[in-house]
Structure 1
Amino acid sequence: MTDRPDPLAPLRLLPGVAESVAHAGKALAAVHRKPVNLRRPEITGAESVLRGARSGALMDGADPALRGAGAGSRVLRRHLDVYSLLAPDTVQDTARVFLRAPLQVLARMDVLAGGTGRPERAVGELAVLASTVTSGADPDLLPGVVHGQLLATAPFGERTGVVARAASRLAAVAGGFDPRGLAVPEPWLNRHRTEYRDAGAAFRTGPEGVARFLVLHMRSYVAGAEEAEGIAALL
C-alpha cells in the first residue's frame, strides 16, 4: 500500500462522476454474478475481446462488411493483435505488468498496432499517466483516466485509439473494476463515435471536460455490461 494521496480522488467530486461510477459498478457486478460467468468466465471474456476488437476497428476505418468475418483487413488484424493481450489466458499476467510497468505494456500495444513502441509526442504527459497507474489510484476511475488521457494527448499518433481502448480495458481488469474483462464497451462507443471523439478531445480542457469524458466512459461500461449479459445468455 502507498501513503501517497490518491491523485484521482478529486475527480469523484466532479458533476455526474460519482453517480455514473456507481451505476457502472452495479451493472458490472451483476454480469459477473451470472452463473455462466462464475463457472466459465473465460468464455464470455474471449467473446468480449473479439467483439471489442471488431468494434474498435470499425471506429478506426475498417470496412463494416468485415464485422464477424475475421481478420480481413490490416486495421482489423492490428486491432485483433492488440486485443490479444486481453485474451483470458494472458490478461491477468498482462494486467500485473501494467500496474508495475505501464509504459512497457503501452509500448507493446503500439508495436502490435503497427508502431515502433516509442511515443511520437506528449512524452511528459505519458510519464505522468504512468506515475498515476503505479500510484494505486482509484481503481474505478483509473480506466477512464487512462482512456481519456491517451485519447487527448495521442502519444502514438493514429494508433492511439486502439491503444487507449485496450489499455483502459486492461486497467479495468488490473484494478478490479471489471476483474474478468467481461464488459464490451466498444460497440456503444462505435454507435456514439462522434460524441466519443468530442469527449476525448475535451479531456484536456479542464475539469468540465474530464467529467464529460468520465461520464461517457461509464455509460459505455453500462452498455458493455449489457452486451456481456447478451453473450452469457447465449451460452
Structure 2
Amino acid sequence: MSTTADPLAPLAALPGVAEAVDSVRKNVDRVYGHRIMRRRSTEVTSEAALRGARGSAALGGADWALEEVRRRTDFGVEGEPRTVGAALRLTAEAGQLLGVWRQSPLRVLARLHLVAAGGSGVPEESVGRPRLAGEAVDEPLVGLALPDADEVAGRLDGLARLLLAGTRAPALVVAAVVHGELLALRPFGSYNGLVARTAERIVLVGSGLDPKSICPAEVGHAELGRDAYLAALDGYVSGTPEGMAAWIAHCGRAVELGVRESTAVCEALQRGAA
C-alpha cells in the first residue's frame, strides 16, 4: 500500500511520533508481562474499565473520586451523575463492539451515542445519529468552532473509509486521529467527548496493542488535565505537522499513564496475594 493510498501512514514519520509509538509499545509490553496478568488479568481489566470511565467522566465535567464512582448507584440523576453513568456504560459497551467496528465504524459511533445519551433527557429523535443543520451541541469542554452538519457528514464518511481501507500507521496514530477527529467534529448533540475517548479505546484494543483493555488512556488524559488536553487538541485541529505530532504524543503519554495505573493495580493485587 502506498502512502498516497494510506493517508495515515505519513503521520508516523512526523517528528517525535516514532519515539512516542515505541515508548507506548514498551510500556504496554511491560504491564502485559507482569506476573499477575497470568492469573488475574480479568480483575485488572475490570479495574482498568472503572478507572478509565472515571477519567473520561472527569474530563466531561464530573470529576469524582474513584471510590465515589465505585459506591454510587444514582446515575440517572441530572448533571454529574448522568455523565458518570454514561462513561460507565460506554466503557462496558466498548468491548462488545470490536467486530462491528471493523465492518462499520459509523454504526459503532451511533451505538455509542445511543448508549451514552439514552434516557438522559436528550430528544429521542436526535439520539444515535449525527446532528442536522441548526441543531445545537452541548459540549462545554471544547470551545472550538463547530463544523456545520454537511462538513460533519463528509468528514465522518471520510474517516470511516480510511479505517475500512486499512493502514500501516501504528495503533497509537490511528487511535489519536479517531479521537481528535471526533472531538473536532462533535458530530452528536451531546456526549461527544465521552464517545471520542471510547472510540480511542476501541482502536487501541481492536488493533492488538491493548487486547485485554488494561491500558486506560482516559486515566492519562484526565491526569494530564483539561488545559493540556485542549492545547493538544488545538494542535490536531490546526492540521500542521507540529500540531498533529503534539496531539499524537499527548495521546501516547495518556496511554503510558494508563499503563502506570494498571501496573499499580497489578502491584496491589500481588501484595494482597502474597
**TM-score of the two chains, using structure 2 as the length reference:** 0.78
Counterpart code for 2:54: R
C-alpha distance 218-186 of structure 1, shift in aligned 2 (>3 A)? same
Report how many residues are paired: 229
Q: Match for residue 106 of structure 2?
A: 103
Equivalent in 244, 250, 253 of residue 219 of structure 1 = 253
Indicate the SS of the match to 1:177: coil
Structure 1, unaligned stretches of length 5 or more? none
Q: Match for residue 195 of structure 1?
A: 228
Checking the alignment, whether the CA contact within 8 Å between 2:17 and 2:248 is kept in structure 1 is yes
Indicate the SS of the match to 2:211: coil
Q: Match for residue 80 of structure 1?
A: 88
Checking the alignment, whether the CA contact within 8 Å between 1:147 and 1:164 is kept in structure 2 is yes
Checking the alignment, whether the CA contact within 8 Å between 2:28 and 2:215 is kept in structure 1 is yes
Q: Match for residue 167 of structure 1?
A: 199
Structure 2, unaligned stretches of length 5 or more? 75-80, 132-148, 270-274
Q: Match for residue 119 of structure 1?
A: 130
Counterpart code for 2:195: V
Q: How far did 1:97 drift?
A: 1.3
1:121-165 per-residue CA deviation (whole Å, 9 max, x = no partner) reads 311111111112212222422111111111111112441110011
Question: Which structure 2 residues correspond to residues 38-187 of structure 1 after superposition, within 5 A?
Answer: 38-62=38-62, 64=64, 66-72=68-74, 73-86=81-94, 91=95, 93-114=96-117, 116-120=127-131, 121=149, 122-137=152-167, 138-140=169-171, 141-187=173-219
Rounded to whole Å, the distance in 2 between the matches of 1:35 and 1:41 is 10
Q: How far did 1:202 drift?
A: 2.7
1:14 aligns with 2:14: yes
Checking the alignment, whether the CA contact within 8 Å between 1:54 and 1:68 is kept in structure 2 is no
The 10-residue stretch of structure 1 (214-223 or 54-63) with the greater mean CA deviation from structure 2: 54-63
C-alpha distance 146-71 of structure 1, shift in aligned 2 (>3 A)? farther
- Percent same amino acid at aligned positions? 35
Structure with the larger helix share? 1
Checking the alignment, whether the CA contact within 8 Å between 2:182 and 2:196 is kept in structure 1 is yes
1:183-227 per-residue CA deviation (whole Å, 9 max, x = no partner) reads 122222113221102212331211222111101000111111111
Q: How far did 1:3 drift?
A: 8.1
Checking the alignment, whether the CA contact within 8 Å between 2:62 and 2:84 is kept in structure 1 is yes
Indicate the SS of the match to 1:29: helix
1:36-90 per-residue CA deviation (whole Å, 9 max, x = no partner) reads 223332221111111111111111122535444334411111111111113xxxx
